C-alpha cells in the first residue's frame, strides 16, 4: 500500500520545529518518528523511509496511521519505568570502536560526531536511549574528548614517515650526540598585520570583536631551535622567504655557534634549491642538513613555538601600523630566546606526540 500525507504549511512548519526540538533535547525516538513522517510527506515510500532510518517498514506505517488518527498527540512517548538501561562492558568496547571509525563508517552522512549523533548511534545499534547531557560523561569514560580536528595532507607517505621515526631520527640523534653538535629544527612563520583570532571567554551571547586594519602585509621570521639545550636562533624580515635570505640566516647561525650543526628542515623550495645545495656543500665541515618526510609538520617541534608566539604576540591584537606588529613579534621572540627551558618543554611535547623518548 502506498502511503501519502498532505500537510498544511503551518502543520509542516510545526513538525519541523518539533523535529529540531526533539534532536537537541535528545528525544531520538521522537526525532526519527517525525523525520519518517516528513519523508512520507515528501513522497518517499514506507520501504525507502525504513531503509534510510533503519526502521522496520511496519513501524513506519504505524507512525503514519497514528498520525492520521491522533495528529500531534501521536508524537509522544512515555518514559519507561525504572532506571534506564546502560551499556554492558562489551557494548561499551564496541561503541568505542564505532566512534573511532567515524560517523560515515557507521552509515551517517556527517563526518562530525556530536552527542545527539552518538546518542542516535547507541539507539540504533544497542536499542538503548541516552540523553545527550549524560553522554559526555560516558564518552570521557571511554577515553574520548571533544576536540577540533586538524588537516593532514593526502600526499603523506606513510612508509617514509614510519622509516623516519624508526631509523632516520634515531640515527640523527646518535650522530648529534657523538659530535657534540647542535641539533636544530628549522622552519619559518609569517605574522599578519591584520592579526589573528583565537578562543577567549566572553559574555554569553556577545561575540568578542577585534579591530583590524585589513592590511595584507606580513612579518617573516626564520627560526631554529636546539633539541638538547632549547637555544633559539631567529631572524625577522619584511621580504619574502628566498634561498638568499635563508643562506644569510644560516651564515649568521654558523657565526654564532662554535660546534658542528645539524639542521632538520622541510622541503620548501628555498631550502632545497640548487643555490642551497651549493651552500651546504661549501659548509659540509660544520653543517649537516637532514630532510623531514614530505608534508610532515607534526614531526617539527618548532611548530609548537610558532603557536605560542602567535598566541602571545598576535591573537586578538590590533596593529594600527606594521611597525607595531614587528615590535610585538620581536619582543616575544626575544622573550623565548631568554627562556630555553620553555623550548625544552616544547621538545617534551614533541616527543610525547611521536611516542619516542626525550
Specify the pLDDT at position 329.
97
What is the rounded distance in angstroms from the CA atom of residue 259 to the CA atom of residue 10? 79
pLDDT of residue 133: 73
Report the pLDDT value the prediction gives residue 353, as an integer from 0 to 100.
Answer: 53
Grid cell 512515555 in the structure block, residue: 78
pLDDT beneath 70: ranges in the chain: 1-4, 26, 77-85, 132, 152-153, 348-358
So what's the pLDDT on residue 261? 98
Say if residues 74 and 66 touch (Cβ distance below 8 Å). yes
d(CA 132, CA 122): 11
Segment 272-327, tens digit of pLDDT: 999 999 999 999 999 999 999 998 888 999 999 999 999 999 999 999 999 999 99
Judge whether 197 and 207 are in contact, CB under 8 Å: no
- Answer whether 59's CB lies under 8 Å from 40's CB: no
Grid cell for residue 29: 525516538
Tell me the per-residue pLDDT of 312-324, one tens digit each, with 9 for 90 and over. Answer: 999 999 999 999 9
φ, ψ (nearest 5 deg) of residue 189:
-140, 150
Q: Is 273 exposed, middle or buried (0-12, 13-18, 19+ CB in 10 A)?
A: middle
Residues contacting 98, CB < 8 A, separation 6+:
105, 106, 121, 125
pLDDT of residue 124: 81
Q: What angle do CA 314, 346, 262 make, to 5 degrees?
A: 105
Q: Cα–Cα distance between 206 and 290 in angstroms, integer?
A: 49
pLDDT of residue 171: 95
Amino acid at each position: 500500500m502506498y502511503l501519502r500525507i498532505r500537510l498544511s504549511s503551518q502543520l509542516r512548519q510545526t513538525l519541523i520545529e518539533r523535529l529540531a526540538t526533539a534532536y537537541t533535547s535528545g528525544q531520538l525516538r521522537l526525532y526519527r518518528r517525525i523525520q519518517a513522517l516528513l519523508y512520507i510527506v515528501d513522497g518517499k515510500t514506507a520501504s525507502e523511509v525504513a531503509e534510510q532510518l533503519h526502521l522496520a517498514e511496519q513501524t513506519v506505517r504505524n507512525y503514519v496511521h497514528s498520525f492520521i488518527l491522533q495528529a500531534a498527540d501521536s508524537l509522544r512517548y512515555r518514559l519507561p519505568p525504572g532506571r534506564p538501561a546502560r551499556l554492558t562492558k562489551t557494548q561499551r568496547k564496541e561503541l568505542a570502536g564505532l566512534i573511532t571509525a567515524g560517523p560515515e563508517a557507521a552509515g551517517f552522512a556527517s563526518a562530525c560526531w556530536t552527542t545527539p549523533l552518538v546518542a542516535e548511534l547507541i539507539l540504533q545499534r544497542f536499542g538503548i536511549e541516552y540523553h545527550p547531557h549524560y553522554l559526555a560523561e560516558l564518552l570521557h569514560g571511554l577515553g574520548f574528548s571533544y576536540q577540533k580536528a586538524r588537516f593532514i595532507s593526502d600526499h603523506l607517505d606513510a612508509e617514509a614517515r614510519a622509516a623516519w621515526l624508526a631509523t632516520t631520527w634515531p640515527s640523527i640523534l646518535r650522530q648529534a650526540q657523538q659530535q657534540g653538535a647542535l641539533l636544530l629544527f628549522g622552519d619559518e612563520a609569517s605574522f599578519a598585520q591584520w592579526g589573528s583570532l583565537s578562543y577567549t571567554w566572553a559574555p554569553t551571547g556577545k561575540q568578542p570583536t577585534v579591530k583590524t586594519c585589513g592590511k595584507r602585509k606580513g612579518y617573516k621570521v626564520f627560526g631554529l631551535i636546539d633539541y638538547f639545550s632549547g637555544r633559539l636562533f631567529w631572524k625577522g624580515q619584511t621580504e619574502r622567504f628566498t634561498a638568499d635570505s635563508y643562506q644569510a640566516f644560516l651564515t649568521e647561525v654558523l657565526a654564532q655557534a662554535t660546534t658542528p650543526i645539524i639542521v632538520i628542515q622541510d622541503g620548501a623550495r628555498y631550502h632545497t634549491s640548487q643555490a642551497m645545495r651549493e651552500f651546504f656543500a661549501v659548509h659540509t665541515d660544520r653543517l649537516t642538513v637532514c630532510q623531514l618526510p614530505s608534508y610532515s609538520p607534526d614531526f617539527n617541534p618548532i611548530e609548537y613555538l610558532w603557536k605560542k608566539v602567535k598566541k602571545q604576540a598576535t591573537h586578538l591584537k590590533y596593529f594600527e601600523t606594521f611597525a607595531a606588529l614587528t615590535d610585538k613579534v620581536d619582543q616575544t621572540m626575544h622573550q623565548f630566546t631568554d627562556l630555553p627551558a620553555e623550548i625544552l618543554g616544547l621538545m617534551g611535547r614533541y616527543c610525547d606526540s611521536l611516542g619516542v623518548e626525550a
